Amino acid sequence: MIYTIVGARPNFMKAAPIHRAFERAGVAHALVHTGQHYDEAMSKVFFGELGMPRPAVDLGVGSGTHAQQTAAVLVGLERFFTDHRPDAVIVVGDVNSTMAATLVTAKMGVFSAHVEAGLRSRDWDMPEEVNRVVTDALADLLLTPSHDADRNLLAEGCAPDTIVCVGNVMIDTLHEHLPRARALDVPERLGVTPGGYAVLTLHRPSNVDDPVTLRHLVGAVARVAERVPVVFPVHPRTRQRAAAAGVELARIAGLVVTDPLGYLEFLSLTSRARLVLTDSGGLQEESTVLGIPCLTLRENTERPITIEQGTNVLVGTDPATIVRAALEALERRPGAAHRVPELWDGRAAERIVGAVLSRLS
Ligand code: UD1
């Protein structure tokens, strides 16, 4: 049996096409859910929408400090794999579950492949950067989304024959579901006009955990919302931090606050947006493929290809700079021609399965 590990929200869109590609190849494959995310809106909704089977096990690790969460995955997964020895394990992305699962497989002598290998922000304050580097140091097969990631791995001394550029598997999911998402009327239901609103997501600890930074960012968004409605599906971490910092999101004129959305609803929303403001990694990539201008509210990105070839601009976290960049972006004519990086073609899962099976035979 080959297992793919999922834990947190961005893992689900990457695991779904991998599961189906194994099914098409007639190879036994199952999901293991660590339970890092567990809410209906952060986890359960994606299984139904993306057509994923129930996981073979849910380790139920839940929330906690980094050490608690990582340790719970280590213990739970080692126990499960002791009883259900895998032929191979696939990990995706850069969340705590990804890193912990790779450590378990390495210690148990189980073959592992990392999907989304080689991305680097070079920002060691980001928990995901630690997860990326540890995961890539331990995984046997490094499956990259783009050639800049290949170069990062080679520079770190990874053996060339362990690296395969397979493209971006999350874009497989986007291509598959875009027609269904476009058929939904999510902007209308939220009271905004297609093509006439911005979408905001914010959840990085560096942006939301410090009350001063959070207030500055929300202040900048309030200025943008004077010009164009801003729809803000709020991540649970951000909701908690905003409440603790006394930031009343619901009082900001022009800001449309919602709970986190499912995949299809969110894609319906972003695909018709005029502008995206985000600190998410995945949304930088999705907006690049959709051709929607994206302002990334961070000082760095592990996805520079979305800037070189896509629609992404790194604007940082200075409020005046964010407002200026947003107003400039809104001035520009929408629908300008855009490029999509090589191998972001909807067929990455096929290449992932091919690369994994070739190593096992
Ligand atoms: C995690 C990932 C991050 C990813 C993000 C996507 C790590 C280090 N971080 O961050 O890379 O971009 O997921 O969402 O792995 N919570 C709920 N319900 C849930 C899950 C979480 O309410 O289903 C709340 C809990 O209070 C929890 C907090 O959100 O403490 C943070 O969750 P956690 O999994 O620690 O990190 P994220 O910020 O979600």
The values of phi and psi at residue 233, to 5°, are: -75, 120
- Position 333 scores a pLDDT of 81
Say whether 203 is catalytic.
yes
Alpha carbon nearest to ligand 1 atom 3, residue: 95
The values of phi and psi at residue 266, to 5°, are: -70, -40
Backbone conformation region of residue 224, classed left if phi is above 0, alpha if psi is from -120 to 50, else beta: alpha
Is the pLDDT at 337 greater than 80, yes or no?
A: no
Alpha carbon nearest to ligand 1 atom 20, residue: 37
pLDDT in tens, 261-273: 999 999 999 999 9
| Residue 106 pLDDT level (bands cut at 50, 70, 90) | very high
| Residue 331 pLDDT level (bands cut at 50, 70, 90) | very high
**Helix spans in the chain (H):** 9-25, 45-49, 66-83, 96-108, 127-138, 147-155, 169-182, 186-189, 205-208, 211-227, 236-245, 263-271, 281-290, 305-308, 319-331, 348-360
| Residue 339 pLDDT level (bands cut at 50, 70, 90) | confident
Which atom of ligand 1 approaches the CA of 280 most closely?
Answer: 12
Between the CA of 174 and the centroid of ligand 1 the distance, in Å, is 22
Active-site option among 147, 203, 216, 338: 203
Between the CA of 331 and the centroid of ligand 1 the distance, in Å, is 35
Between the CA of 37 and the centroid of ligand 1 the distance, in Å, is 6
Parallel, antiparallel, or unpaired for β 198-201 and 29-33?
unpaired
Between the CA of 9 and the centroid of ligand 1 the distance, in Å, is 8
| Residue 338 pLDDT level (bands cut at 50, 70, 90) | confident
Spatial CA neighbour of 162 closest among 355, 33, 360, 311: 355
CB 31 within 8 A of CB 3: yes
Q: Three-state SS for 90?
A: strand
Q: pTM for the full model?
A: 0.97
Which atom of ligand 1 approaches the CA of 37 most closely?
Answer: 23
| Residue 361 pLDDT level (bands cut at 50, 70, 90) | confident
- Position 125 scores a pLDDT of 96
Which atom of ligand 1 approaches the CA of 204 most closely?
Answer: 38
Structure-token pair, residue 309: 């070839």
pLDDT in tens, 110-148: 999 999 999 999 999 999 999 999 999 999 999 999 999
pLDDT in tens, 278-318: 999 999 999 999 999 999 999 999 999 999 999 999 999 99
Q: Three-state SS for 239?
A: helix
- Position 334 scores a pLDDT of 76
